[in-house]
Amino acid sequence: DKLHQLLQALPKCEHHVHIEGTISPELFFRLASKNGITLPSDDPAFESPAALHARYQNFTSLDDFLHYYFVGFSALINASDFEALTYDYLALAYSQNVYHAEIFFDPQAHISRNVPYHTIIAGMNAAKARAAVDFPKLSIEFIPCLLRHLPVPSAHELLDELLASGHFFDGTLVGFGMSSTELGKHPSLYKSVYDSARAAGVSNFTAHYGEEGPSDYVKDALSLLNVSRIDHGRRSAEDADLVAQLAESATMLTLCPLSNVILKGVDRMQDIPIREFLDANVRFSINSDDPAYFGGYIQENYCAVQEAFGLTVDDWGKIARGAIAGSWCSSSRKEQLL
């Protein structure tokens, strides 16, 4: 209907998409074959792209998804693989009128396979350079995430390598985040990593919390890690004081509605506290997370929210303006996006 046309035309900002989560089963099989990668033989899901796609309909939890997500990494070897993956995502996002994209990637899970950090960034930068020509209205930023299923010292090693690259200070990396498994991974475990990064001059911080984990993890991430953003943050709604704090501090939640439904964080889309966040003036954006796994890119997420909540044009204006204000780009770029 008319609102869905408006949502397609609406200039969008995407703040929560993992580039490795954009690898389709077809591309995974193609790259694995090209690169001579053996697929897991003990799981019938890897018999064909169709079987893998079918398995994605039956995720039971974040950790169940993460198993398949990290197998997907194994097909990514050369800079050209990262370039193709990134360029294809940017082309699709631009077709949905994404004008500002901040893209996560997980260096530790590549470096541990002997794919160097500079290979990843060379491929992603090549895609960004082509996008500057082909998608002139699109601004692009990259954000590395530390992985919480790995030991904390590995996160310190990653930070040291990223700092040594100089990429936080030359425009290559816009900030620092963390992802992967959540339950049992309290923010206090990572305080020393975030403190070191801040002391070295890194300026924008975020962290995945409140996806499966309780609202206390969100509260403690704000106080211990000093993040200006929370990825997901859905369960913040369970704590009224926290909701007020998020509104007061203009902390942006990067919500991922289809992701929450597919990973069984909620039973139904209607259970995501979109209305509560709007009414409490909590800033949030709507994002795709891992679109190749969750059945939709940003437009499908916007439409799913509209189907579930029947928002007004004014609601969408508020969401769109909040997403621009919460972006990690210059104030002059924000003016252009408005």
Question: Using CA of residue 281, residue 282, residue 285, residue 286, what is the dihedral sign?
Answer: negative
Confirm whether residue 208 is marked as ligand binding: yes
Q: Tell whether residue 187 is a contact of ligand HPA (CB under 6 A).
A: no
Among 14, 83, 211, 212, which one carries the catalytic annotation?
211
Q: Tell whether residue 21 is a contact of ligand HPA (CB under 6 A).
A: yes
Q: Tell whether residue 289 is a contact of ligand HPA (CB under 6 A).
A: yes
Q: CB-wise, 187 or 311, nearer to Zn ion?
A: 187
Read off φ and ψ for residue 265, nearest 5 degrees. Answer: -65, -30
Q: Which of 179, 206, 251, 301 binds ligand HPA (CB under 6 A)?
A: 179
Distances (CA, A) of 122 to 119, 218, 259: 5, 33, 29
Q: Tell whether residue 102 is a contact of Zn ion (CB under 5 A).
A: no
Contacts with 2 (C-beta within 8 Å, 6 or more apart), sequence order: none
Q: Tell whether residue 211 is a contact of ligand HPA (CB under 6 A).
A: yes
Cα separation, 62 vs 42, in Å, equals: 21
Q: Tell whether residue 208 is a contact of ligand HPA (CB under 6 A).
A: yes
Confirm whether residue 18 is marked as ligand binding: yes
Distances (CA, A) of 182 to 62, 114, 260, 264, 303: 8, 26, 14, 14, 28
Q: Tell whether residue 272 is a contact of ligand HPA (CB under 6 A).
A: no
Q: Tell whether residue 102 is a contact of ligand HPA (CB under 6 A).
A: no
Cα separation, 60 vs 255, in Å, equals: 19
The answer to whether the beta carbons of residues 336 and 34 sit under 8 Å apart is no
Q: CB-wise, 15 or 18, nearer to ligand HPA?
A: 18
Which of Zn ion, ligand HPA, none binds 141 (CB below 5-8 Å, type-dependent)? none
211 is catalytic: yes
Applying CB under 5 A, the span of 52-60, 76-84, 198-206, 289-297 interacting with Zn ion comes to 289-297
The answer to whether the beta carbons of residues 12 and 287 sit under 8 Å apart is no
Q: Tell whether residue 207 is a contact of ligand HPA (CB under 6 A).
A: no
Distances (CA, A) of 98 to 77, 165, 217: 28, 29, 30
Is 301 exposed, middle or buried, given 0-12, 13-18 or 19+ CB atoms closer than 10 A? buried
Q: How many residues bind ligand HPA (CB under 6 A)?
A: 11
Residues annotated within a binding site: 16, 18, 208, 289-290
Residues annotated within a binding site for Zn(2+): 16, 18, 208, 289
Residues serving a catalytic function are 211
Footprint on this chain of ligand HPA (rule: CB under 6 A):
18, 21, 62, 69, 179-180, 208, 211, 259, 289-290
